[in-house]
Amino acid sequence: MTSQLYRLVYHSRNFISGTPEQVSVEVNKILESSQRNNLLIDVTGALIFNAGMFAQVLEGARNDLEATFERIQRDERHGEVEILAFDEASSRGFPSWSMGFVGHSCGDKELFTHIGEGSGFEAKRLEGEHVFRVMRDLAIAEETRAA
């Protein structure tokens, strides 16, 4: 029995302080434990770190997403977590990534400058959609580059 696939999209503010190197070390730690944990429960997705913000897409069974998200919520390395979308999904956007990092394909461009502007329900839904698209495109670019 396969359970219904869900997708969760959120963004949050980085609370890691220090030099860019120190931040990057910490982000790598996050990625390592994400990949390790997500692989075990068949959760996939991507993480981006851009202009002081994290944005993350997580895909998997609802219970697994809820449990993973609860752990992420307790993490002091970020805060002001805003959930943009939590919906059923027909297929995975990041089927081969237990937790991909698309941070390096975008350089210093500020991808989500409008984040936090609109707060209405519709604005959030659109933003969730937007974040998901941007990250998937970056993921595809990343994979082609690696190939």
Partner 1 sequence: MQIATSTTPICDDQKSLHREPDLAHTEHEAALSLTALNSLNRAVAVIGPENGILYKNRAFDELFGGGELSPHLRECLNSLARGTENLESCETAFDDGRTLRIETMNLPDGLLVSAEDISKRVAELAQSAEQARTDPLTLLGNRRMFRERLRDLMANLDPAQDTAAVLSIDLDRFKAINDTLGHSVGDALLRSVASRLKSVVRREDVVARLGGDEFAVIQSGGPQPNSAAALAKRLVDLLGRSYIIDGNLLNIGASVGVALIPTDGVDDDEILKNADLALYRSKQDGRRTFRFFENSMDEQMQARRCLEIDLRRALAMRELKLVYQPQITLSTKQVTGFEALLRWQCPKRGLVAPAEFMPLAEEIGVIVQIGEWMIRTACREAVGWQQPLSVSVNVSAVQIASLTLLPVIRAVLAETGLDPGRLELEITESVLMKDHAVTLDMLQEIRSLGVRVSMDDFGTGYSSLASLRSFPFHKIRIDQSFVRGDPDDPGNIAIVRAIAALGRALGMTTTAEGVDTEGQLARVIADGCTDVQGYLISGPLNPELIEDFLHLRDGRADAAAA
Ligand X SMILES: Cc1cc2nc3c(=O)[nH]c(=O)nc-3n(C[C@H](O)[C@H](O)[C@H](O)COP(=O)(O)O)c2cc1C
Supply the DSSP string of 93-107, one letter for each residue. SSTT-SSEE-GGGGT
Q: Which of 130, 99, 100 lies closest to 113 in space, CA to CA?
A: 130
Q: If we measure between CA atoms, which residue out of 127, 132, 129, 102 comes closest to residue 114?
A: 127
Paired tokens of 122? 């519709």
Is residue 8 within the footprint of partner 1 (CB under 8 A)?
A: yes
Locus of tokens 């998901």: 132
- Residue 38 binding ligand X, by CB under 6 A: yes
The footprint of partner 1 on residues 42-81 (CB under 8 A) is: 62, 65-66, 69-70, 73-74, 76, 79, 81
Q: Which is nearer to partner 1, 69 or 112 (CB)?
A: 69
Estimate to the nearest angstrom the gap between the alpha carbon of 118 and the chain centroid. 20
Phi, psi (rounded to 5 degrees) for 72: -60, -40
Q: How many residues of this chain interact with ligand X, rule: CB under 6 A?
A: 18
* CA distances from residue 100 to 71, 113, 147 in whole angstroms, order as listed: 18, 22, 15
Q: Which of 54, 94, 101, 132 binds ligand X (CB under 6 A)?
A: 54
Q: Is 28 in the site for ligand X (CB under 6 A)?
A: no
Please say which residue, 5 or 99, places its beta carbon nearer to ligand X: 99
Residue 145: CB minimum distance to partner 1, A: 34
Contacts to partner 1 by CB under 8 A: 8, 62, 65-66, 69-70, 73-74, 76, 79, 81, 83, 86
Residues that bind ligand X (CB under 6 A): 12, 30, 33-34, 36-38, 47, 54, 56, 58, 68, 71-72, 75, 77-78, 99
